[in-house]
Structure 1
């Protein structure tokens, strides 16, 4: 059985939970082999890369690990519903990003939605960063905050378009946390926390799963 090392922390002034699990999968090399054999398509939904289906065993094996790691950090719940889960590889060059891909984002507004990132690159290909929007002070975006946030952001971006992937502090955003990529490490956090892949300017952005920034990205609803 895999020896999971679970670290729990609270990030930013809003104190959102972030769970880091090292040794997440029992056989990560087998998952890399599945990824290398996979069939990839453009991701859509503003993800700057490509995605492929997971083997059936992935969720069967990892959902119990996720449930234990969630604990009660994210509130009480009775079940976990899988919204989406796939292999993902960042492939878009910094100068080819659209403006939405150059900014921190959220993947859902509800506090019942949980995101997973599972790093499977053999070498460091960039971790995950979390941010505070300076003008509003927001670190999470819900339905009430969204109009305020996006109105302010639209005006800021029109005045000074951002360049490349966001990794550290900028004039518009302050980084509140950075988790480095580590082979077979996974992160769990609420989908409404402002975040971005920490993709360095000189990062390897190969579409080859054996060379590029290979992760599993997944989204869950707890109820």
Structure 2
């Protein structure tokens, strides 16, 4: 982590969810971008609208090691979080190519202790991360107790108003209300609970670019 990094803790929404933001996170973000340009990217599951390349714990954990003690306090965790998985990710889907599930906010898992660490590596700063509240239930996060209610409500609401159009979410919709957004500044890092409802916050005129040196590149690290 850079010696000039600055940290800020915020809370958002009715549930007062925590977000930790680190500006000037890495001393040499261009090195990470150059490494990414040499990686072999591929599809990883049906949810992410683009390409990913796995990153090992040996490479990714040193990036957040100085933060782990603070994350225990800020997120009231029972122990220091450890590595689950990590990817370099680049958005490559045009809006018209999005599947229905990619047009909705999502959550990474139902465990409240699961954290998502997102490092923005796009010099164009063409999209951060937005957080949402499900209108029908008021849920801003989904744990095991809420999961079935969330799913049933989502299914009922989709039947009532229909699926969203083939576009990236940009603000309020019939099904979800946007409650917060991280701007996605270059070389900034955000940490939030993975069970919050969230998605990429991309502009209406977003044009995907598959070159990691030019596109919307992020490093996505998951801890628990």
Same fold (TM over 0.5): yes
Query: Could you tell me which residue of structure 2 aligns to residue 183 of structure 1?
Result: 186
Structure 1 residue 66: deviation in Å?
3.0
- Identify the match of residue 163 of structure 2 among 153, 157, 161: 161
Q: How many angstroms does 1:71 deviate by?
A: 4.7
* Residue aligned with 1:40, SS: coil
Which deviates more from structure 2 when the two are superposed, residues 118-127 or residues 56-65? 56-65
**CA deviation after TM superposition for structure 1 residue 65, in Å:** 2.9
In structure 2, how many angstroms separate the alpha carbons of the residues matched to 1:199 and 1:60? Answer: 27
Q: Distance in 2 between matches of 1:219 and 1:45?
A: 18
| Alpha-carbon distance in structure 1 between the residues aligned to 2:7 and 2:111 | 24
**Which residue of 168, 187, 195 maps to 1:192?**
195
Distance in structure 2 (CA, Å) of the matches to 1:179 and 1:30:
23
- In structure 2, the CA distance between the partners of 1:57 and 1:46, relative to structure 1 (3 Å rule), is same
Structure 1 CA distance, aligned partners of 2:108 and 2:206? Answer: 23
Q: Distance in 2 between matches of 1:132 and 1:173?
A: 6
Secondary structure of residue in 1 paired with 2:116? strand
Task: Map Cα deviations across residues 154-202 of structure 1 (whole Å, 9 max, x no partner).
Answer: 1212332102111201121111101111111011000000000002221
Unaligned runs of 5+ in 1: none
Structure 2, unpaired ranges of 5+: none
Q: Distance in 2 between matches of 1:36 and 1:210?
A: 7
Q: How far apart, CA to CA, are the structure 2 residues paired with 1:74 and 1:43?
A: 28
Distance 1:91 1:39 in 2: 14
CA distance in 1, matches of 2:46, 2:71: 26
Are 2:141 and 1:140 equivalent residues in the alignment? yes
SS in 2 for 1:30: helix
Contact 1:6 1:69 in 2 (8 A): no
Moved more, 63-72 or 166-175: 63-72
TM-score, normalization: structure 1? Answer: 0.93
Whether 1:97 and 2:98 are equivalent positions in the alignment is yes
- CA apart distance, 1:38: 1.1
The verdict on how the C-alpha distance between 1:56 and 1:13 changes in structure 2, with shifts beyond 3 A counting, is closer
Q: Answer whether contact 1:21 1:69 (CA < 8 A) is retained.
A: no
* Deviation (angstroms), 1:86: 1.2
Q: Distance in 2 between matches of 1:62 and 1:183?
A: 16
